[in-house]
Amino acid sequence: MKFLISVFILFFNTNLYASASDWQLSFQNPATDLMQKVITLHNGILIVMTIVTLFVLFLLFYVSFRFSAKRNPTPSTTTHNTVIEVLWTAIPVVILVVIAIPSFKLLYQQEKSDAYDMTVKVIGHQWYWEYEYPDHGDFYFESYMIQDEDLQEGDLRLLTVDNPLVIPANKNVQILITAGDVLHSWAVPSMGIKTDAVPGRLNETWVNVKEPGTYRGQCSEICGTGHGFMPVVVKVLPENEFMAWVNTAKNNYAINEDIQINVTPSEEIVVSENKIIQIEEKTL
């Protein structure tokens, strides 16, 4: 009984879920209310699944024991029993409906909110992410993984990027997700987000993160050789710090098309402030 109680507490007390740590089991700490709901739904369904599995297991053992050739030398010739057939069809249907209602409710909640404070657009590329801020002057920038040899003390290998996505805390942020080449998937487990980035299609989700901090995820759709090297890093800042960051980003690493300069017809240089981002030479 004591064991059962401790298992019960483990499932329902989400404070016990350490955020990514050694030997961690189950989910990361939920960063949003929605992720908390995902965990609660998961726990509920796990209980239903466990009961069903144990019941079927019990029936299997029971028939193999009770109706073995030794104990039951003359088998029954019954082939139909209407009552039991109705029951074993209707009960699973009822169980599935009971599971489906909260699942669908949560799926809808994850896709849309009533009101948004701002929007960011996420574009998957082979093999990096691009982030756009249509509500803050439409600037955008690229987010590349830091290579092993460039990691600083304390950086997480394969989970650190040069320019993370930055959003304000306690705000409803709409996230529009698409891709520029092949299928990718923008996933941040602690926010309960795993949304496909599909070329030519705009997928939608949203977050409201309570605590400022750094949240990490990875591309979750096999997208080519660099698939494991395009991590997602989301930095959540208090609102005033976020506004300060917007200015820094615009000046330091935004790729702003307004200041695109065509130098010669055969050469195109895209400049952001003093930094040359890209030089494209077209052969004659």
- Residue number with CB closer to Cu ion (223 or 249): 223
d(CA 130, CA 232): 10
Query: How many whole angstroms separate alpha carbon 251 and alpha carbon 27?
Result: 38
Which is nearer to Cu ion, 128 or 215 (by Cβ)?
Answer: 128
13 or 225: CB nearest Cu ion? 225
Least Å from the CB of residue 5 to Cu ion: 43
Closer residue to Cu ion (CB): 136 or 184: 184
In DSSP terms, which residues pair with 176 in a beta bridge? Answer: 121, 204
Which amino acid is residue 204, in one-letter code? Answer: E
The CA-atom distances, in angstroms, between 231 and each of 166, 199, 221, 235 are: 14, 19, 12, 13
According to DSSP, the residues that pair with 132 across neighbouring strands are 121, 140
Nearer to Cu ion, 118 or 158 (CB): 158
Tell me the C-alpha distance between 153 and 73, whole Å: 73
Tell me phi and psi for residue 55, to 5 degrees: -65, -45
CA atoms of 281 and 32, how far apart (whole Å) = 46
Positions in the binding site for Cu ion (CB under 5 A): 184, 219, 223
Nearest CB to Cu ion, comparing residues 31 and 130: 130
Output the smallest distance, CB 280 to Cu ion, in A: 24
| Closest distance to Cu ion from the beta carbon of 179 (Å) | 8
Neighbours of 183 (CB within 10 A): 16
Cβ-count burial 89-125 (b if 16+ within 10 Å, e if not): eeeeeeeeeeeeeeeeebeeebeebeeeeebbbbbbb
As measured in angstroms, the least distance from the Cβ of 192 to Cu ion is 19
In sequence order, the β-bridge partners of residue 280 are 268
> Residue 176 in contact with residue 119, Cβ under 8 Å?
yes
d(CA 275, CA 256): 11
Q: Please state the closest distance from residue 29 (CB atom) to Cu ion, in A.
A: 25
What's the closest the beta carbon of residue 124 comes to Cu ion, in angstroms? 5
Angle at 143 between CA 138 and CA 146, to 5 degrees: 160
Minimum distance, C-beta of residue 132 to Cu ion, in the bound complex (Å) = 17
Closer residue to Cu ion, CB minimum distance, 146 or 219: 219
Q: How far is the CB of 80 from Cu ion (least distance, A)?
A: 54
For residue 218, give both structure tokens. 């990875």
Minimum CB distance to Cu ion smaller for 118 or for 159: 159
